[in-house]
Amino acid sequence: MSYTQRVLDSLKAKYPYQPEFLQAAEEILTTLQPVVEKEPKYEKYKILERMCEPERTISFRVEWVDDNGEVQVNKGYRVQFNSAIGPYKGGIRLHPTVNEGVLKFLGLEQILKNSLTGTPIGGAKGGSDFDPKGKSDNEIMRFCQAFMIQLHRYIGATIDVPAGDIGTGGREIGYMYGAYKRLTTRYEGVLTGKGLNYGGSLARTEATGYGTVYFTDAMLKDRGDSLKGKVCAVSGSGNVAIYCCEKLIQLGAKPVTVSDSTGTIYDENGIDVAVLKQVKEVERARLTRYAELVKTAQYTPVEQYPAGKHQVWCYKVDCAFPCATQNELNEEDAKTLLANGCKVVAEGANMPSTLGAIKQFLDAKIAYGPAKAANAGGVATSQLEMEQNAGMTAWTFEEVDSKLHTIMTNLYNNVAATAREFGVEGNLVLGANIAGFRKVADAMIAQGVI
């Protein structure tokens, strides 16, 4: 039995109740066999076993009081997965589905993603099963303050630098940062995604969506093609999806779909980003509101989706950008996309495609950009925010955007070159996993068994 299979079997035996983590581990480990065969040192030093176990997992109770004076209790976590190449770095997710297994999958992916950016940051993830939806600003503030009372003792500008994620936007980061500053009396770059008037970086809001498109642009140029004129399906309607749509339009493509937890919008004329921003960023409304404002938009509620499929992937498009959440694109969705002529898939969300869907894309040999490579622009720009905070300076939007573009282009080139090195040109899943892994693994070996 191969080294990678032994490690995977061991993880399955220990964590049968963490399906998302096991899915991420399987996707990574099954592609690392060529490099562990080529470099026996990784098995000698038990690097896979060490990398698949977090250095530290912190769980805590979060107690807060709602607007009715009732005490509420949530579960909070921080999974500090790997610090071999830099301080822990990864978002805070606030969503009812958050549990240790979900955060371990995100943290494991984050190790390799952060490595691929070429910047000195390790991998982590955190969050809570708290749901911001339907909560007042004061309730969200009280929760964030209570969350930070527990978390602040484990983080710091050179220790662990959390960021936003699903459910954690600029508002939540602001409340958390205020609490951290009050608790520690330190004004430092401990959180990223901050407001521009207290240490935030221009282009951070746009970074993940823009970065996914920059990666796709590099991927297509390497194949003698471009985004110009391409019709694109985009899922989600948060930061990633909004700014993915915006950058696609800037590069001459036409996004025709967006979605949220209640339904999907399709408009053959293209998504109106200004209206989408108004609905989601200002009004914080559902996409039914978008359909009211844009008369050419067709809205399909979740209840009317085809059985076993997501409506957003049912249209004839050239490119697909899953930008919502994990496992939103399954094997049947992948078959539908391919049958409708889709030739490009780039993942803006974390692990949005199931293993079956990924196999469909790889077998079809389309241009497929996996999440840990294609959506690394967000964390890359978070590191640029850390850099600005450390230097007590601020860069222009153009400076940050230019650095982001360079990072994503270099990232693609590294991933593509690694795939070629191992004889599977175009397989960016293997290329991303091996390229990210080698940097972290070599750093772990150099630092000894500690």
* Catalytic residue list: 125
Q: Residue type for 153, please?
A: R
Contact 326, 351 (CB under 8 A): yes
Q: HEC string of the chain?
A: CCHHHHHHHHHHHHCCCCHHHHHHHHHHHHHHHHHHHHCCHHHHCCHHHHHCCCCEEEEEEEEEECCCCCEEEEEEEEEEEECCCCCEEEEEEECCCCCHHHHHHHHHHHHHHHHHCCCCCCEEEEEECCCCCCCCHHHHHHHHHHHHHHHHHHCECCCEEEECECCECHHHHHHHHHHHHHHHCCCCCCCCCCCHHHCCCCCHHHHHHHHHHHHHHHHHHCCCCCCCCCEEEECCCCHHHHHHHHHHHHCCCEECEEEECCEEEECCCCCCHHHHHHHHHHCCCCHHHHHHHCCCCEEEEHHHCCCCCCHHHCCCCCEEECCCCCCCECHHHHHHHHHCCCCEEECCCCCCECHHHHHHHHHHCCEEECHHHHCCHHHHHHHHHHHHHHHCCCCCHHHHHHHHHHHHHHHHHHHHHHHHHCCCCCCHHHHHHHHHHHHHHHHHHHCCCC
Cβ–Cβ under 8 Å, residues 331 and 307: no
